[in-house]
Structure 1
């Protein structure tokens, strides 16, 4: 059987190991497993969202409201935009997929930072597009601009804050960069972790309405998977000009977001108190991770997300550490696949973080480096 030759060399996105797989592989009781690999909200979701889904369970046989009016109204009110500027997807990565299929054809290219969200490159490759990478762990906008001038990509990706490193560009620097980009180049600003960045430092906060008003070639992405704790429901959104959104809608399949997912997102959006509490706890616990790193000579990247990156050069091997933690029921993300000797740890609840610190300290001591 013949397939599209592009598929042969495609890389598959590797998510964090699920709890169920760890149970099967190592025979660990599920209640003894700490999952700190997928940047989920350790507090779950808003009780209002959970109750809304529970009360609507009898509607599972119904197709979703494909107009998504209730959720769109909530998002439009929150961001001060019109419904014509909004598209909702099964996770924000579905919006990335739409954008790639809309813009990438005939030898097209994308431009991204060297270490960033893997799905940019994967979706681009699915379209047969080339991938240009600006070197470095963090976004280097000067280097990206030079590559933009040289290669004239159809799409530029800016992840703010960046996954998997956690660093975040300032709003003014992003806007100054976009100002220099031709309006036929789509600039995708991925704000999946923006709630965390805005909470920690207002200079990092992005205003989607301002972005699309100033720059008609910008598509802003947001999600309910992180701060809102709805990773399992798969709801994301894109905010852009009428021209961009209208084009993406032509690629959207009908009923792409489920009935219960829409209901959960609608309710979650109304409970900002839950989000604020989660954000405050995240950064309170993150301080413990910085203290642990300092005490053990581990370099970190300043994080504006719900995870922290430990750079392990001179300390240990990231794959060894990740595997050893996994055998103890602690799931973290090894970043060796990104070319980093590092692990990414989702900030968990206090007791989950304590388990990580206890296990990590023993591993460092046993490695003979500390």
Structure 2
């Protein structure tokens, strides 16, 4: 059997370890496991969403409304854009896949930050594209511009706030860059934008402003983070009509489920749940900042629902992550990104207290 040559050098995406794996491997009771690895909303899902999904559970045998009229209508009102400027995906990464397939081939180049969301590289490599990375994990858009002029990439990925580091860029800085780059498709990934907008208005990126001012920009958003619908897999892209029409040519029919569509639609109606979750997130994040300062750990100022600790050389991130897992705490080791660092989702007050207790135990073992 022959497979495409492009697959040879692609590494499989490594998702955060599931609770079920820790139960199987270490025999820990599920109720004693705390997952702080995948940036899920620790406060769950809006109760209004849960009830709405329960009420249509008997319709799961039916295909969803493939026009996704209600969801797109609510998104268009939220962002003040037209419905035909929106595409819905099974998570925002599916829209990323559409964009990569629409633009890239084996002669293409893509530009991205040194450390950023792994799927940018994976989707680009599936098309045979060459990867160009900046020298720093932060989005130094001055360096991006120099690389753009030198390499002439077909897609530029900008993740703000950035995953897995948590830093974000100012809107004005981004717009200055976009004004100078008018040829490639620029994908602005705002998966954590609800958090950044709350913490610092200067970091807020408006999809409407983007697509009104720059016809080569695709904005991505998701319901997996602040809205607490990671298990439902719903994301969206917003761009000018021409971009969306081309992405639609790659979208399979019924690409999200009947229950997912209902969940996302109802989630948009309960902004109070989102606001409360974000307020609690940053209140609890202060504990992580203070803990890092107390321990002398370097950390990245985060505009998301996670924080990244850069560990000293004598503490190995992979070892720390494995030791914590054996104690029922799942975090994300960033060793695969070339960082001796750990990424920790900000949990509830109770979850965080247990994390600090277990982390102290592990550190005392060194």
Taking structure 2 as the reference length, the TM-score comes to: 0.99
Most deviating of 195-204 and 3-12: 3-12
Contact persistence 1:333–1:345 (CA under 8 A) = yes
Shift of 1:106: 4.4
Residue 190 of structure 1 is matched in structure 2 by: 189
* Structure 2 equivalent of residue 74 of structure 1: 74
2: distance between equivalents of 1:300 and 1:5? 39
Matched, 1:11 2:25: no
Structure-2 residue corresponding to 1:240: 239
Residue range with higher mean Cα deviation, 100-109 or 232-241? 100-109
State the shift of 1:7 in Å: 1.1
Deviation, 1:137, is 2.0
| Contact 2:40–2:345 (8 Å) recurs in 1 | yes
What corresponds to 1:119 in structure 2?
A: 119
Tell me whether 111-120 or 308-317 shows the greater mean CA deviation.
Answer: 308-317
- Please give the alpha-carbon distance, in whole angstroms, between the structure 2 residues aligned to 1:149 and 1:130: 16
- 1:360 deviation in Å? 1.1
What corresponds to 1:230 in structure 2? 229
Give 3-state SS (helix, strand or coil) of 2:131's partner: strand
Deviation at 1:366, TM superposition (A): 2.3
SS of the residue aligned with 1:232?
helix
Tell me which residue corresponds to 1:255.
254
Q: Which runs of 5+ in 2 are unaligned?
A: none
Counterpart Cα distance in 1 of 2:65 and 2:113: 37
Deviation at 1:143, TM superposition (A): 1.0
- Provide the rounded CA distance (Å) in 2 between the counterparts of 1:16 and 1:111: 25
Aligned to 1:343: 342
User: Is 2:315 aligned against 1:320?
Assistant: no
Q: Once the 2 structures are TM-superposed, how far is the Cα of residue 314 of structure 1 from its aligned partner?
A: 4.2
> Deviation string for 1:71-101 (max 9, x for gaps)?
0011000000001100000000000000000
Matched residue, 2:65:
65
Describe the superposition over 1:216-241 as per-residue Cα deviations: whole angstroms up to 9, x where unpaired.
00000000000000000000000000
How does the TM-score come out when normalised to structure 1? 0.98
CA offsets 1:18-41 (integer angstroms, 9 cap, x no match): 001110000000000000000000
Q: Distance in 2 between matches of 1:97 and 1:64?
A: 22
Q: Describe the SS at the equivalent of 2:230.
A: coil
1:165 aligns with 2:157: no
Q: What are structure 1's unaligned runs of at least 5 residues?
A: none
2:353 is aligned to 354
Q: CA deviation at 1:362?
A: 2.0
Aligned to 2:204: 205
CA contact (8 A) 1:234 1:261 kept: yes
- Partner of 2:219, secondary structure, is strand
Cα deviation, residue 359, structure 1: 1.1
CA distance in 2, matches of 1:279, 1:357: 21
Q: Deviations over 1:291-313 (max 9, x none)?
A: 11111111110000000000102
Contact 1:298 1:315 in 2 (8 A): no
Q: Quickly say closer, same or farther: Cα 1:106–1:16, change in 2 above 3 A.
A: closer
Q: How does 1:69-108 map to 2 (within 5 A)?
A: 69-108=69-108
Q: Deviations over 1:238-267 (max 9, x none)?
A: 000011000000000000011000000000
- Give the Å deviation of 1:364: 1.8
